[in-house]
Amino acid sequence: MEQSVSIIIPCYNKRAYVAAAIESALAQTHACEVIVVDDGSTDGSLDEIRRFDGRIRWVTGTNCGGCAARNTGFEMSSGAYLQFLDADDILPPEKIARQLAALRDAPEDSIAICPWQFLHDDGRLDPPDPRPYWKSYDEGIDLLLDMWLHGGFFPPHPWLVPRALALDSGPWNSTLTADQDGEYFGRILTRCGPALFCSDTCAQYRSPPVGAVSRNRSRRAGTSRMQAFELVAESLLALRSDRAARRACLSRIRKTAYALRDFDDMVARAAAWETRLRVFDLSPSLPPVARWLIGLLGIRRGLAARALLKS
């Protein structure tokens, strides 16, 4: 398979960071097409992007959200592989080359992933925090099950995805306002073949600041997180409905509802999923006390018991 790569960088008001993200894309030891989509920034981000004119392709327009910006970048791209990079994150120079090496002799529907570590604004890097699913899988769907079971995630930039697989999976869902990447890569994992873990490189994920999408606990964000789960879960269960799949879905929906426990309707949606999934489990993605209470009593009564204990 051809090994050309397009790096797609959406940017909205990231003036302090976007140049470093672009530089990390241009510094790849495997030369890549770099595309930056300015999503109507108002903080001078576009001035930073224009400094790279001639070395990157870029476009700007009205603010339509990160998913729409990524879809625009995809439409502009030509690479056989796609690398999504948020405007405040960093790729190490060898990231693309090492993942391409792993994919060279793999089936065409394979994807590559790698470890990630937190990057702080003062330049500090936290050591990588290995998770049980930081390994290779013969089928991507099994990676999805382990991530959901243990409550973890990969940010957008550890992934390297074949263009054909991205076309088959469909565009980023621009109706979502939170967990857009969880829904997008969850979709990818239900359709791909092997998921190859490249431990010899490590992406840098900026520690989310106050106001970041990943920290948003509003009702609107909560509704989006629920919808993101439900969209992927329906696809997953249509392919597999064994105990492992239902257990993973249970763990994921309970963790989502636990984070949104102040919203009764979100808890009710999770309770309906508990009934549908018909599996007993202690859900290791939850904190220890909640794990036992919710595992034994269900999400509604478990949260009520937790509140009584805390009072």
**pLDDT tens-digit series, residues 66-86:** 999 999 999 999 999 999 999
**pLDDT surpasses 60 at 146:** yes
Cβ atoms 67, 76 nearer than 8 A: no
pTM across the whole model:
0.95
**Hey, what amino acid is at 291?**
R
Task: Report d(CA 61, CA 229) in Å as an integer.
Answer: 30
Q: Which pLDDT value is given to residue 287?
A: 95
**pLDDT tens-digit series, residues 228-259:** 999 999 999 999 999 999 999 999 999 999 99
Q: Which pLDDT value is given to residue 211?
A: 47
**pLDDT tens-digit series, residues 38-57:** 999 999 999 999 999 999 99
* 3-class secondary-structure state, position 157: coil
Q: Which pLDDT value is given to residue 170?
A: 98
Indicate the CATH number for domain 5-207.
3.90.550.10
**pLDDT surpasses 70 at 145:** yes
- Say which residue the tokens 């959901």 belong to: 148
pLDDT (average), residues 20-35:
98
**pLDDT tens-digit series, residues 267-300:** 999 999 999 999 999 999 999 999 999 999 999 9
**pLDDT band at residue 36 using 50, 70 and 90 as cut-offs:** very high
Task: Report d(CA 293, CA 280) in Å as an integer.
Answer: 12
**pLDDT surpasses 50 at 33:** yes
Task: Report d(CA 160, CA 82) in Å as an integer.
Answer: 6
Task: Tokens for 262, please give them.
Answer: 């102040």
Task: Report d(CA 227, CA 242) in Å as an integer.
Answer: 22
Task: Report d(CA 21, CA 24) in Å as an integer.
Answer: 5
Query: What sign results for the dihedral spanned by CA atoms 183, 255, 178, 231?
Result: positive
Cβ atoms 229, 257 nearer than 8 A: no
Q: Where are the domains of the chain?
A: 5-207, 221-310
**pLDDT band at residue 214 using 50, 70 and 90 as cut-offs:** low
* Distances 255 to 84, 116, 137, 154, 229 between C-alpha atoms, Å: 26, 22, 24, 16, 11
- Which residues have C-beta within 8 Å of that of residue 29, sequence separation ≥ 6? 93, 94, 96, 97
- Burial of residue 101 (CB within 10 Å: 0-12, 13-18, 19+) is middle
DSSP state letters, 265-298: HHHHHHHHHHHHH------TTS-HHHHHHHHHH-
**pLDDT tens-digit series, residues 175-193:** 999 999 999 999 999 999 9
**pLDDT tens-digit series, residues 88-109:** 999 999 999 999 999 999 999 9
* Averaged confidence pLDDT in the chain: 95
The share of the chain scoring above pLDDT 70, in percent, equals 97
Q: Which pLDDT value is given to residue 2?
A: 85
